[in-house]
Structure 1
Amino acid sequence: MTDLILILNAGSSSIKFALYPLSQSASTPIISGKIAGIKRAPVFQARGSTGCAISPGVLAILSIEEDQTALTRRLLCWIKEQTKEHTIVAVGHRVVHGGQQFGGPVLLNEKIIGELEKLQSLAPLHQPYNLSVIALVSSLMPDVPQTACFDTSFHRTQPRLAQLFPIPRHFTDEGIIRYGFHGLSYDYIASVLPDYLKGKSKDRVIVAHLGNGASMCAMKNRRSVATSMGFTALDGLMMGSRPGSLDAGVILHLIQEQNMKPADIQDLLYINSGLLGVSGISNNMQTLLESPHPHAQEAIDLFCYRAAAELGALLPALGGLDAIIFTAGIGEKAPLVRKQICHHLTWLNLRLEEKANAASATVISAPNSAIDVLVIPTNEEEVIAAATYRLVAEKTI
């Protein structure tokens, strides 16, 4: 019998999971997988530590009608069945927003959960679901400690100017600042950068986390100094169903001239914009890449143009650029998107190696490129597992 840590990473369109042995050095899960395509075409995938596929059992057939909470309940029951000969001793969660209160991972209790509930309006696609998953685990495993690891924590190293909005100071004092997100992904990339850059002096790096949610982070010496997302996960890059940076006057116009209500605005910004809104077809990049419709191509083109523009906006925080890292679903698996983004950046003397990019190799920049360009798979679950182990070990010592 093995003691295990269960990691649950709930995103806007998927939930990933991994089961790690309770060990300080454990970096390979014994089982990992995900339910992807939630609300679109949900599918379950799981693999064992040997790389072999695992029978999906009761998760073989998923319904588009099932919401994230219902699918998570089924997933937890499946995990319990798979681990009946082992003991889950802790559960670690990705929680999107930690606000100003939480600058690092925490052991959860009722008081902390209450504080996290107050932040739900700042991440309505994620925070309510993150908290509902925590509640589900509590109901199924009431005696198992749970931890929360925050997407906002990594960015607390940013200088004050990078966090400020140009609004009246009292709003800043109330906590309306740039928080930044996808911090667990950036934390992982920062931890492995020395392995990939192999001793090169690459102090100024921009990491592009491109998925259904997308952002970029400017890192100096592997610490966040600026990021594209701000107070909420709406800012910055165009995303699957979110617009990214948007003139606030557009929102005023929709309220004043089209009588849109707050709930309508929220749906517009979180659910009906981005790739989905521009294409009118899908929020899924792969679907758009396979579509012959001109609206699909325009959505892809806009996504790439906006990504390059946001990358350029991060350069002043670094004072130059040594390397670009592509990661997450689109960043790791869409050569055409990487190519188009880099095409907009040739003025930086950036050059891609076409064959390497097409093969999604680790290094995709050409030998004569002034900037290294790499593709590095992210691993948020490993970051959560390591933090959960530390917290549980501290509690038991």
Structure 2
Amino acid sequence: MIDTLLVLNTGSSSLKFQIFAERDLNVLMSGKVTGIGDTPEMRAKLPNGEETRSTLPASTDHNLALRAVTELIGGHDHGWRTTAVAHRVVHGGQTFREPVIVTPDVMRRLEALIPLAPLHQPHNLAGITASARIASGAPDIACFDTAFHAGHDELTSSFALPQEMRDKGMRRYGFHGLSYDWISQVLSKDYPDLRAGRVVVGHLGNGASLCALKNGVSVDTTMSMTALDGIPMGTRSGSIDPGAILYMIHDLELGVEAVQDILYECSGLKGLSGISNDVEALLQSDDPKAAFALEYFARKTAQHIAMMAVSLGGIDALVFTGGIGEHAAPVREAILRRLRFLGDFKTLVIPTNEERLMATQAKKLLRTVA
């Protein structure tokens, strides 16, 4: 019998999982479902090292993806005893600033945050509910994307809104904190001199943001109250004039749900190109709209990197991570081309590993409560 930690990372269009041996955090099995809502596919690396790949029905949503993962794990269980299931939870609000064991009360508080992360939070919480099918009786541990940014000062976290609105929780929280925490730890180990300086990290993927690190600590980030703000993303608009939203509601007479769908599901690279939110597909396309979308993304990302540099008082290094940041060299080059005016700084590509970070956090928490 091997004690294991199961990690579930449910994103807007993907579901990743890893099974770690609790003792040494060796990966025993891993996999992911990608293309949820479009062309879903499941890939996995089995305990014997074999890699599998299968196409899932086009109707596969997050719940069906979780079911497919459950069946896959059940078919390759090698006497594992799951001691905890760690879940990525996008929004922890102002309450949750470190990992926590999920209780009914915690679950209610997390459900109350769904309006702040409607694209992610419901899927994160569905994973917590579904985990009982995989590991009955094992505690669920929530690991928060917002926690890494919880130490921001008021100047950074505030909106220019009346106090009564700010008192209702309308503030800048920031996201992708698990990824940024991992990058900070890698820098501490492999590039200690850089970590001690001024580093901008770009988590660029279907969801995308930037983080300003000083001495490995988050001092600013581009996402704010929701995961919609900042640079344009796969299907999300990024920063937009609030007046444009009012115009859609009042003048175009669009309902709130229709506007939400436009901003979250139909904008970004997908909306600009009219083709796809897949950067690889856009890079391969000869359609001028594809090139326009990629140029727009590069320009806006570079502009926001400069904004992060202002918060740091300069820049010593720029780290790319995430699906686009790690694999799309032409996009990286287009961004860097626009940043030459900042002078010399180190450029790194570091793969993120949110799942291992979550396993580490879960193991630490289990020891604390033992």
Q: Which amino acid aligns with 1:371?
A: F
Out of 272, 297, 308, the residue aligned to residue 303 of structure 1 is 297
Out of 174, 191, 195, the residue aligned to residue 168 of structure 2 is 174
Between 132-141 and 170-179, report the one with greater CA deviation.
Answer: 132-141
Unaligned runs of 5+ in 1: 350-369
Distance in 2 of aligned mates of 1:71 and 1:318: 41
Mapped contact 1:202–1:322 kept (Cα < 8 A): no
Q: Which amino acid aligns with 2:165?
A: F
Structure 1 position 229, deviation (Å): 0.2
1:347 match: 341
Out of 193, 207, 211, the residue aligned to residue 213 of structure 1 is 207
Alignment of 1:296-335 (within 5 A): 296-335=290-329
Indicate the SS of the match to 1:215. Answer: strand
Q: Which amino acid aligns with 2:14?
A: S
CA RMSD of aligned residues (A): 1.4
1:246 match: 240
Out of 376, 383, 395, the residue aligned to residue 350 of structure 2 is 376
Distance in 1 of aligned mates of 2:256 and 2:220: 29
Q: What is the CA deviation profile of residues 42-63 of structure 1, one whole-angstrom value per residue up to 9, with x for unaligned ones?
A: 111122578x33345xxx3301
Structure 1 position 395, deviation (Å): 2.7
Distance in 1 of aligned mates of 2:128 and 2:52: 26
2:41 match: 43
Distance in 2 of aligned mates of 1:176 and 1:131: 22
Distance in 1 of aligned mates of 2:136 and 2:172: 35
Structure 1 position 257, deviation (Å): 1.0
1:391 match: 365
Structure 1 position 84, deviation (Å): 4.5
- Find out whether 1:165 has 2:163 as its counterpart: no
Number of matched pairs? 370
1:355 match: none
Q: What is the CA deviation profile of residues 176-229 of structure 1, one whole-angstrom value per residue up to 9, with x for unaligned ones?
A: 110000000000000010333254575100000000000000000000000000
Q: TM-score, normalized by length of structure 2? A: 0.97
Distance in 1 of aligned mates of 2:109 and 2:132: 17
Q: TM-score, normalized by length of structure 1? A: 0.90
1:18 match: 18
Q: Which amino acid aligns with 1:282?
A: S
Mapped contact 1:202–1:323 kept (Cα < 8 A): no
Mapped contact 2:183–2:350 kept (Cα < 8 A): yes
Distance in 2 of aligned mates of 1:124 and 1:258: 23
Q: What is the CA deviation profile of residues 334-382 of structure 1, one whole-angstrom value per residue up to 9, with x for unaligned ones?
A: 0000000000001012xxxxxxxxxxxxxxxxxxxx2000000000001
1:65 match: 59
Percent of aligned positions that are identical: 42
Q: Which amino acid aligns with 2:364?
A: R
Structure 1 position 39, deviation (Å): 1.5
Mapped contact 1:151–1:183 kept (Cα < 8 A): yes
Q: Relative to structure 1, is the Cα distance of residues 395 and 318 closer, same or farther in structure 2, using a 3 angstrom cutoff?
A: same
Unaligned runs of 5+ in 2: none
Distance in 1 of aligned mates of 2:58 and 2:196: 45
Mapped contact 2:326–2:350 kept (Cα < 8 A): yes
Q: What is the CA deviation profile of residues 19-78 of structure 1, one whole-angstrom value per residue up to 9, with x for unaligned ones?
A: 10112x42x31111211111121111122578x33345xxx3301111111111111121
